[in-house]
């Protein structure tokens, strides 16, 4: 575990000090070596970031001053996580943190040793004090908690509790290559517990590596949250339609559309590097689409003038509904980002709307819980476009199109708009 702890400390510092996403930091880890090192480090990072509000509270109380040099935060937070949330023996967590710091900052050895050895002595007092601190209690930034509490006065606590847990691992069976019943049998043979959670969706009893999923490399199934799987039926496509997936990467919804229908589909994304995931997914699943790197908000540069029958706009957002899958996001986002992203969303909606034929349908989707990105965004769009009509969406427990995160799915928003 020693090398895993060192890697985890470096990754945590990249997120908290450099503002880098954990996904990007993990992808930059050089390949090779013991695969367990990367897996253990990833597990430690997710744990630290899920509990960061409380861990940083402990660290402030134990030090009484900002940590200096700032790079000490990584090893201290990893060690505190192990002591507070995993009950790792002190000799393992503390000694290795001190050794790691000693190699890089020898003069800080005594400081780190004193901080970590004080935690068990003060644990009960620290835990009691943390319960009275909003960020430490809920492990979310104060502004995030206040927004949820304001918009969801009856459910904000349940939502935060759900987002502090581990997400379910839900699969989407590729109907082009197998049936749900056959894939269920493969899961049984592999000794993997499951439950049916949708027509083509199966939720595993416990997460596993994708390489351990039967037939994954052969395209028999994909990993996709149950809430995300609602996009395709809500778009209401028919075979032969001309369809735009305006912000396609990493391609889960693109592939799902093509698994369900024979479509003339254009998968668009402004970041060419992210489209690699789209083409890789389509190749694995045996599917075909036109894939283009372009900005959906500037159609003059790429649109051929042929109207689309359907448009899926899975807009960039704060990802506030998927924080349990990406716990770094809640610490990297700022309140100003909500308003900045709302501006981007409005720009994209206005840009792609003229590309839709009369009678066509646009599905606006986000993985956000904030109304500025969701219901309020759609209301403002309808005011700007008199030829737009909001269609009724019948979702259990979400008549307004807003799915709250729970034990079955993450948080998503959907609105289907018809061109009259």
Residues 6+ away with beta carbon under 8 Å from 212: 190, 192
d(CA 253, CA 125): 48
Among candidates 210, 214, 154, 142, which has minimal Cα distance to 183?
Answer: 214
H/E element, 414:
strand 412-419
In angstroms, what CA-CA distances link 386 with 223, 380, 401, 414, 418?
39, 11, 21, 20, 11
d(CA 128, CA 103): 35
Structure tokens at 162: 């759900």
Helices (H), 165-209: 180-189
d(CA 3, CA 45): 13
Torsion of CA 277, 279, 280, 281, to 10 degrees: 80
367 catalytic? Reply is yes
The DSSP annotation for 40-106 comes to HHHHHHHHHHHTHHHHHHHHHHHHSS--SSGGGHHHHHHHHHIIIII---HHHHHHHHHHHHHHH-G
Look at the chain and count its residues.
420
Please, are residues 85 and 51 in contact by the beta-carbon 8 Å criterion?
yes
Catalytic residues: 367
């Amino acid at each position: 575990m020693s090398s895993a702890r060192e890697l985890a400390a470096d990754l945590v510092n990249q997120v908290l000090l450099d503002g880098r996403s954990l996904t990007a930091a993990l992808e930059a880890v050089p390949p090779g070596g013991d695969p367990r090192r990367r897996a253990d480090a990833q597990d430690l990072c997710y744990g630290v970031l899920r509990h960061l509000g409380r861990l940083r509270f402990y660290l402030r109380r134990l030090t009484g001053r900002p940590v200096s040099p700032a790079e000490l935060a990584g090893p201290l937070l990893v060690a505190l996580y192990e002591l507070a949330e995993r009950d790792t023996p002190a000799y393992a967590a503390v000694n290795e943190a001190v050794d790691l710091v000693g190699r890089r900052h020898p003069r800080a050895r005594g400081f780190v040793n004193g901080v970590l050895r004080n935690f068990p002595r003060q644990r009960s007092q620290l835990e009691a004090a943390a319960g009275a601190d909003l960020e430490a209690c809920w492990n979310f930034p104060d502004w995030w908690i206040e927004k949820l509490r304001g918009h969801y006065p009856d459910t904000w606590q349940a939502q935060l509790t759900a987002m502090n847990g581990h997400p379910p691992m839900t699969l989407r069976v590729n109907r082009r290559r197998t049936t749900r019943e056959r894939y269920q049998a493969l899961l049984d043979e592999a000794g993997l517990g499951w439950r049916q959670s949708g027509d083509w969706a199966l939720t595993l009893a416990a997460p596993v590596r994708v390489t351990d999923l039967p037939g994954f490399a052969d395209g028999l199934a994909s990993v996709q949250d149950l809430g995300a799987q609602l996009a395709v039926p809500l778009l209401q496509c028919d075979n032969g339609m001309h369809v735009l997936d305006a912000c396609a990467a990493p391609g889960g919804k693109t592939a799902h559309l093509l698994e369900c229908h024979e479509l003339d589909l254009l998968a668009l994304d402004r970041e060419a590097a992210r489209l690699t995931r789209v083409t890789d997914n389509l190749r694995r699943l045996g599917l075909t689409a036109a894939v283009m790197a372009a900005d959906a908000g500037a159609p003059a540069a790429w649109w051929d003038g042929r109207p689309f029958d359907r448009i899926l706009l899975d807009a960039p957002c704060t990802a506030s509904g998927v924080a349990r899958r990406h716990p770094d996001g809640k610490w990297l986002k700022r309140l100003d980002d909500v308003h900045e992203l709302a501006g981007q969303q409005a720009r994209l909606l206005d840009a792609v709307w003229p590309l839709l034929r009369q009678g066509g349908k646009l599905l606006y989707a986000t993985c956000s819980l904030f109304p500025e990105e969701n219901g309020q965004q759609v209301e403002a769009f309808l005011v700007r476009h008199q030829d737009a009509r909001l269609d009724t969406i019948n979702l259990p427990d979400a008549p307004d199109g807003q799915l709250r995160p729970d034990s079955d799915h993450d948080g998503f928003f959907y609105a289907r708009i018809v061109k009259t």
